[in-house]
Amino acid sequence: MTIDDDKRLAAQAAVAEVRDGMVVGLGTGSTAAFAIAALAARIADGLHIQAVATSEASAHAAFAAGIVVRDFADFATLDLAIDGADEVDARLWAIKGAGGAMLREKAVAAAARRMIVIADGSKHVAAIGAAKLPVEVLPFARAFVVAQLEILGATVTVRPDYETDNGNLVADCRFAAMPDPRALAAAIDAIPGALGHGLFLDEVDAAYIASRGVVTRLKRP
């Protein structure tokens, strides 16, 4: 069993929850790519769904796999979103955004009636906080936002030669400790020019975690 096998198993378990007629939000990253493949396989077997994608990369992959991809701008609500994570804990708090898509991912997750995280066991942690926390930054306000993030205790690296699908920068933040993710999320939300961040504290409804071939389903406590 490889990590990719575990990512595939977690993805397949989540895709098994997709039903005919749903509008499904597709995540971004290597685990989400397995979900796109699993969904395409079910569509080839007769499932009828529409999808919206959280990144241009996932939109292209889904379209190439034969999935009907719609513009998220036309949907106020979705039935289900399936996405990867960089860390997830037992509270179903997650850190996302290593792939830089966290702003679109959060909008899609918030619009979805249910959001399922899929991950291999390395992403399952006792408490989120060790992973870098990405923040999408308006280029116009770069130095100001970085300074504000540093005041919050972050060691900040602006991703070099990188632009999000929205044309913005990403500031990767490392925190020595993250004792209160909810307070941190609120503080980042309050910085003008910080457009979004990878703390997902209210969005995740369930998670499929696969470790050495065994899939576990976590529910919000």
Shortest Cβ distance from residue 146 to ligand 5RP (Å)?
Answer: 20
SS (H, E, C) 43-97: HHCCCCCEEEECCHHHHHHHHHCCCCEECHHHCCCEEEEEECCCEECCCCCEECC
Minimum CB distance to ligand 5RP smaller for 26 or for 149 = 26
Shortest Cβ distance from residue 46 to ligand 5RP (Å)?
Answer: 28
Other Cβ atoms closer than 10 A to 71? 9
Minimum CB distance to ligand 5RP smaller for 18 or for 98 = 98
Print burial letters for 164-200: b (CB count within 10 Å at least 16), e (below 16): bbeebbbbbbebeebeebeebbebbeebebbbbbbbb
Active-site residue flag, 105: yes
Shortest Cβ distance from residue 101 to ligand 5RP (Å)?
Answer: 4
Minimum CB distance to ligand 5RP smaller for 46 or for 167 = 167
Contacts of 133 (CB under 8 A, 6+ apart): 95, 97, 154, 172, 173, 174, 175, 178, 184, 197, 198, 199
Binding site for ligand 5RP (CB under 6 A): 27-32, 83-86, 96-102, 105
Minimum CB distance to ligand 5RP smaller for 18 or for 204 = 204
Shortest Cβ distance from residue 29 to ligand 5RP (Å)?
Answer: 3
Tell me which of 56, 87, 105, 203 is the catalytic residue.
105
Q: Any idea which residues carry the catalytic annotation?
A: 105
